[in-house]
């Protein structure tokens, strides 16, 4: 199974690319993107992305490095903020990126669906020593999104292919505007059993692909020293003149120059077949329920011969679903 993707080099004019760096600095303060445990009854207490976390811990990442859990956590607790949501600009200056014509055309090409509706633009910033575990993104279905159900469940749903009729195909454009060492974007366009493609995070370049279907991650951002032990609640702050610091309340725990940071901006958009499909999504006229989702998955486990007898307790069922349907690429 081969997945279409498109590359952009350059993505923006030199002036617009400089403006993205300026925008990053003007925004000024970035919170940590960390996952709260899921409170849903199905899989209660599991991390939202239990699938990706467990694979990272088991495999030690793409290069099979074994480290203590708190170090692995620090490596993957990166910084994120939103610049736009839907069509709404949350931070002035993001407009050329939000409305990029090349992204729209590539989105149409990836899914063959012409009605493109921007969903979100956000920044990810990784500091030296950080990396992003290999994963697929959280997909969305009519009636099933991250506001209603645990994230791992929607990832299971997509990999099972049992809910394709309800899926909302999404694309992601990822662009880089920093000049760090390392931090390559790694993806598997031929599927989990195919070879990875390694893309340098080169300034003012981008890729657009279906990150809900294509496994991807970020290799480690170059670091000379020990991993700073980042914890949820810390912030990355621009101190002026391209100097940045990580702060735990008012305490500075690390300082960086701009060219040590990995700054990427992501654009996500829904791709609808036609306006009728978009309207059904907006009106919730054909939504899935949690009972229907779980019944379908359990029936499929039985049909595969993986389940006999009673349905397991919710957390056991959750772990079985993750193991059964989400087949990660092997470590290098
Ligand atoms: Fe991702």
Mean per-residue pLDDT over the chain, rounded:
93
Structural contact between residues 40 and 149, judged by C-beta atoms closer than 8 angstroms? yes
Q: Does residue 34 have a pLDDT over 80?
A: no
- Residue 63 to residue 61: CA distance in whole angstroms: 6
Distance 189 CA to ligand 1 centre (A): 14
Distance 332 CA to ligand 1 centre (A): 19
201-237 tens-digit pLDDT: 999 999 999 999 999 999 999 988 888 999 889 999 9
Q: What is the mean pLDDT of residues 182-209?
A: 97
145 or 15, greater pLDDT: 15
254 or 59, greater pLDDT: 254
Distance 259 CA to ligand 1 centre (A): 23
Q: What is the mean pLDDT of residues 224-253?
A: 93
Distance 137 CA to ligand 1 centre (A): 5
Give the H or E element holding residue 110: helix 101-111
Q: Does residue 315 have a pLDDT over 90?
A: yes
- Residue 122 to residue 134: CA distance in whole angstroms: 19
Give every CB contact of residue 295 below 8 A, 6+ residues apart in sequence: none
Structural contact between residues 30 and 263, judged by C-beta atoms closer than 8 angstroms? no
Whether this model's pTM surpasses 0.85: yes
Q: What is the mean pLDDT of residues 241-245?
A: 97
Distance 215 CA to ligand 1 centre (A): 8
Distance 272 CA to ligand 1 centre (A): 21
What is the per-residue pLDDT for 181?
Answer: 96
Distances (CA, A) of 245 to 13, 75, 217, 258: 29, 17, 25, 10
Distance 170 CA to ligand 1 centre (A): 12
What is the per-residue pLDDT for 37?
Answer: 65
Angle between the 151-160 and 314-325 helix axes, to the nearest 10 degrees? 40
Q: What is the mean pLDDT of residues 116-138?
A: 95
Distance 278 CA to ligand 1 centre (A): 24
Sign of CA dihedral 103, 109, 114, 118: negative
HSE-CB at 86 with a 13 A cutoff on CA atoms is 2
Distance 119 CA to ligand 1 centre (A): 15
Distance 218 CA to ligand 1 centre (A): 9
Distance 280 CA to ligand 1 centre (A): 27
**pLDDT band (50, 70, 90) for residue 318:** very high
Tokens of 139: 């997909």
Distance 135 CA to ligand 1 centre (A): 6
What is the per-residue pLDDT for 224?
Answer: 81
Angle between the 50-59 and 69-76 helix axes, to the nearest 10 degrees? 120
- Residue 163 to residue 157: CA distance in whole angstroms: 6
Distance 154 CA to ligand 1 centre (A): 14
Q: What is the mean pLDDT of residues 141-153?
A: 91
Tokens of 204: 């003012």
Q: Which of 52-61, 276-285, 313-322 has the highest mean pLDDT?
A: 313-322
Structural contact between residues 182 and 126, judged by C-beta atoms closer than 8 angstroms? no
Q: Does residue 35 have a pLDDT over 70?
A: no
Distance 57 CA to ligand 1 centre (A): 17
In this structure, the number of other CB atoms found within 10 A of the CB of residue 41 comes to 11
Cis peptide before 274 (omega within 30 of 0): no
CA-wise closest residue to 294 among 317, 324, 322, 323: 317
Distance 172 CA to ligand 1 centre (A): 9
Give every CB contact of residue 168 below 8 A, 6+ residues apart in sequence: 139, 140, 141, 142, 270, 272, 281
For ligand 1, a single-atom ion, the residues with CB < 5 A are 137, 211
**pLDDT band (50, 70, 90) for residue 158:** very high
Q: What is the mean pLDDT of residues 162-181?
A: 96
- Residue 129 to residue 71: CA distance in whole angstroms: 10
**pLDDT band (50, 70, 90) for residue 36:** low
Q: What is the mean pLDDT of residues 252-258?
A: 96
- The percentage of residues in the chain with a pLDDT greater than 90, rounded to a whole number, is 77
């Amino acid at each position: 199974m081969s997945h279409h993707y498109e590359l952009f080099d350059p993505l923006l004019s030199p002036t617009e690319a400089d403006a993205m760096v300026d925008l990053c600095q003007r925004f000024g303060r970035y919170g940590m993107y960390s996952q709260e445990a899921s409170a849903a009854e199905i899989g209660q207490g599991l991390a939202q992305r239990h699938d990706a976390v467990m694979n990272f811990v088991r495999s030690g990442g793409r290069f099979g490095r074994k480290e203590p859990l708190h170090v692995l956590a620090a490596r993957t607790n990166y910084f994120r903020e939103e610049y736009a949501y839907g069509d709404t600009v949350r931070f002035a200056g993001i407009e050329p990126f939000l409305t990029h014509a090349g992204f729209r055309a590539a989105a149409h090409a990836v899914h063959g669906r012409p009605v493109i509706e921007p969903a979100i633009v956000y920044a990810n910033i990784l500091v030296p020593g950080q990396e992003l575990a290999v994963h697929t993104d959280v997909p969305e279905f009519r009636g099933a999104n991250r506001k209603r159900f645990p994230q791992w469940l929607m990832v299971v749903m997509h990999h099972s292919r049992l809910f394709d009729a309800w899926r909302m195909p999404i694309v992601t454009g990822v662009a880089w505007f920093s000049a760090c060492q390392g931090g390559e974007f790694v993806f598997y366009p031929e599927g989990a059993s195919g070879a990875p493609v390694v893309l340098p995070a080169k300034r003012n370049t981008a890729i657009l692909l279906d990150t809900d279907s294509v496994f991807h991650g970020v290799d480690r951002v170059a670091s000379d020293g020990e991993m700073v032990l980042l914890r949820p609640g810390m912030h990355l702050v621009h101190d002026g003149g391209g100097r940045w610091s990580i702060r735990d309340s008012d305490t500075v725990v690390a300082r960086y120059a701009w060219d040590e940071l990995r700054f990427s901006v992501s654009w996500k958009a829904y791709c609808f077949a036609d306006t009728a499909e978009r309207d059904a999504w907006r009106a919730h006229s054909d939504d899935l329920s949690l009972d229907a989702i779980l019944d379908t998955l359990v029936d499929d486990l039985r049909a595969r011969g993986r389940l006999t007898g009673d349905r397991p307790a919710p957390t056991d069922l959750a772990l079985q679903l993750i193991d059964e349907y989400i087949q990660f690429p092997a470590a290098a």
